Amino acid sequence: MKGFARPRTLEAFARICSLAEGQHGLVAIAQLRGEVTEQVLAQLRDAEIVEPIVEGVLRVRAGASHPHPTLYATWLLAEASPAWERSLTTLVVSHRSAARLYGAGSVGGDELEFSGRARNALPGNVTVYPRSVAEDQCRVIEGLPVTAPARTLADLADGQGLDLSDLGRLARSFISQGWTTADELGAGLTRQFAGREPAYDGPSWLESALDAAAKG
């Protein structure tokens, strides 16, 4: 690693670390444009100080580790601003990705799913639903904005190929893990279904879903 410890490289690494510190050890290359050259990034990769997570996102190997690195790295790719400066509602983890982030069990599919808008192009395995998400429909888990349980269930009930028992198992998991209560979830579902067809009554729909899940 002869000649590595040059001021330019050290300054670049300091900038990378300052971003990575607030982003679970990750930094998008787009966040470094105009500050860190490709040559310096190549040096750091060759020295195994940073490693790729997805194309365009690096992890500082001595840094933190996110429990969902690909999901978080993809969210970072969506715009160049640091994670801590981003709006909670611009791009929100949703649908099946939200269920996985909650640890609510497998609902199939490897696609990464978000709702809102991405300012930068994202990989082909990513779906962005152009649907706005209000701040009261969001939570933050592991530094990622994610649709609240009621919004997640309503989204997955909307032509996503899941039957009522699948949705009931998700609802049961949300409740049993303490993310929400049955009363809160039922009321939230009423609000979510209000602008959709059919406009279900939330508590009644939830009772039917939980009953379907119990019957297997």
pLDDT for 56 = 96
pLDDT for 196 = 84
Spans of the chain below 50 pLDDT: 1
**H-assigned helices in 59-201:** 69-77, 95-101, 149-156, 164-176, 182-193
167-210 pLDDT tens trace: 999 999 999 999 999 999 999 999 999 988 888 999 999 999 99
207 membership: H or E segment, kind and range: helix 202-214
pLDDT for 1 = 47
How, if at all, do strands 50-54 and 126-129 pair?
unpaired
Positive or negative torsion for Cα 69, 75, 80, 83? negative
**pTM of the predicted model as reported, rounded to 2 decimal places:** 0.90
Q: Which residues of 117-142 are buried (b: 16+ CB within 10 A; e: fewer)?
A: ebeeebeeebbbbeeebeeebbbeee
Are the CB atoms for 75 and 89 separated by under 8 Å? Answer: no
Range list of β-strands (E), the chain: 26-28, 50-54, 57-60, 91-93, 112-116, 126-129, 138-141, 144-147
pLDDT for 3 = 52
pLDDT for 62 = 82
